[in-house]
């Protein structure tokens, strides 16, 4: 059933924007709706949908190059609307992966960093997270306590983060910390090779049972070349 378009909104959209919306709508109807209620009740996220969203180019679709779709911001909003219609967790997955992790590396990374990290994230082969929020300061970078200390060819990141979507299963973590000079810096870390990083899932949450998300006290060791220099 189609809702009534009292404001003639449909006429304001381009053919490309309608196509992006309709493509996402079909994905939701045919591949998501039949299982999302069961996943919600079980407190689990249907992880196989991450690769499907990547194949449909739903991650950061407003960006260009590196496999991104290069669509308008209106198309991006329509895509998020359709995902949210199915499940807040699904839309949040697309937001964390695309608008946070991918966007940070796409916008502030060097060409080498972009070539290293973006293909797997954009395709959905790899999962990303964006570790900014902390227990005592929320998402205020001015009060951030996590520190990045230079140690030879590496940085030692030492701190604690909270409410980090995808944290416990991420392949790539964009971690924010203050460097030796007190400046806010971001580091792209290969998550599963940093044995000093520990994460824990929150208990089941009503309304958004998506990716688990708390990064506890951790010490990770990204190489100096993994700092996002454009930040």
3-state secondary structure 81-115: HHHHHHCHHHHHHHHHHHHHHHHHHHHHCCHHHHH
What pLDDT, on the 0 to 100 scale, is given for residue 217?
A: 47
User: Which residues form the domain of 189?
Assistant: 128-226
CATH number of the domain to which 106 belongs: 1.10.540.10
What pLDDT, on the 0 to 100 scale, is given for residue 192?
A: 57
How many Cα atoms within 13 Å fall on the side-chain side of residue 93?
31
User: What band does 216 get if pLDDT is binned at 50, 70 and 90?
Assistant: very low
What pLDDT, on the 0 to 100 scale, is given for residue 229?
A: 62
- Chosen domain end from 123, 142, 162: 123
What pLDDT, on the 0 to 100 scale, is given for residue 160?
A: 87
- Chosen domain end from 123, 140, 174: 123
Q: Which DSSP state fits 28? A: I
What pLDDT, on the 0 to 100 scale, is given for residue 226?
A: 60
Residue with tokens 């924010």: 176
pTM, two decimal places: 0.86
Domain assignment present for residue 163? The answer is yes
One domain for residues 98 and 82 = yes
One domain for residues 80 and 30 = yes
One domain for residues 29 and 116 = yes
One domain for residues 156 and 72 = no
- Chosen domain end from 123, 138, 154: 123
One domain for residues 137 and 217 = yes
Domain assignment present for residue 169? The answer is yes
Domain assignment present for residue 111? The answer is yes
User: What band does 158 get if pLDDT is binned at 50, 70 and 90?
Assistant: confident
Q: For residue 166, give Cα distances in angstroms to 59, 111, 127, 138.
A: 15, 25, 7, 17
Q: Is the pLDDT reported for residue 24 higher than 90?
A: yes
111-123 and 48-55 helices, crossing angle to 10° = 110
The rounded mean pLDDT for the chain is 85
One domain for residues 170 and 91 = no
One domain for residues 144 and 191 = yes
In the chain, the number of structural domains is 2
Domain assignment present for residue 5? The answer is no
Domain assignment present for residue 19? The answer is yes
Which has more confidence, 199 or 87? 87
User: What band does 166 get if pLDDT is binned at 50, 70 and 90?
Assistant: confident
User: What band does 12 get if pLDDT is binned at 50, 70 and 90?
Assistant: very high
CATH number of the domain to which 176 belongs: 2.40.110.10
Which two three-digit tokens encode residue 208?
């958004």
Task: State mean pLDDT over 148-159.
Answer: 84
Helix, coil or strand: residue 138: strand
One domain for residues 132 and 212 = yes
One domain for residues 86 and 145 = no
Q: Is the pLDDT reported for residue 194 higher than 70?
A: no
What pLDDT, on the 0 to 100 scale, is given for residue 159?
A: 87
One domain for residues 119 and 18 = yes
Length of the chain: 231
């Amino acid at each position: 059933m189609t809702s009534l378009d009292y404001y003639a909104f449909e006429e304001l959209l381009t053919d490309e924007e309608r196509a992006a919306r309709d493509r996402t709508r079909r994905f939701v109807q045919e591949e998501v709706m039949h299982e999302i209620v069961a996943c919600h009740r079980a407190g689990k996220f249907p992880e196989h949908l991450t690769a499907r969203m990547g194949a449909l180019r739903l991650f950061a679709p407003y960006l260009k190059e590196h496999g991104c779709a290069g669509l308008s911001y209106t198309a991006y909003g329509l895509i998020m609307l359709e995902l949210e219609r199915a499940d807040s967790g699904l839309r949040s997955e697309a937001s964390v992966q695309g608008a946070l992790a991918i966007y940070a590396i796409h916008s502030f990374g060097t060409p080498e960093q972009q070539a290293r990290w973006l293909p797997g994230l954009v395709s959905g082969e790899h999962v990303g997270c964006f570790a900014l929020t902390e227990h005592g300061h929320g998402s205020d970078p001015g009060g951030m306590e996590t520190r990045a200390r230079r140690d030879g060819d590496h940085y030692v990141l030492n701190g604690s983060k909270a409410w980090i979507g995808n944290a416990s299963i991420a392949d790539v973590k964009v971690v924010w910390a203050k460097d030796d000079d007190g400046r806010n810096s971001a580091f792209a870390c290969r998550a599963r090779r940093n044995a000093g990083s520990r994460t824990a899932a929150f208990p089941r949450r009503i309304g958004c049972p998506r990716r688990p998300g708390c990064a506890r006290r951790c010490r990770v060791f990204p190489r100096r070349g993994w700092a996002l220099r454009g930040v």
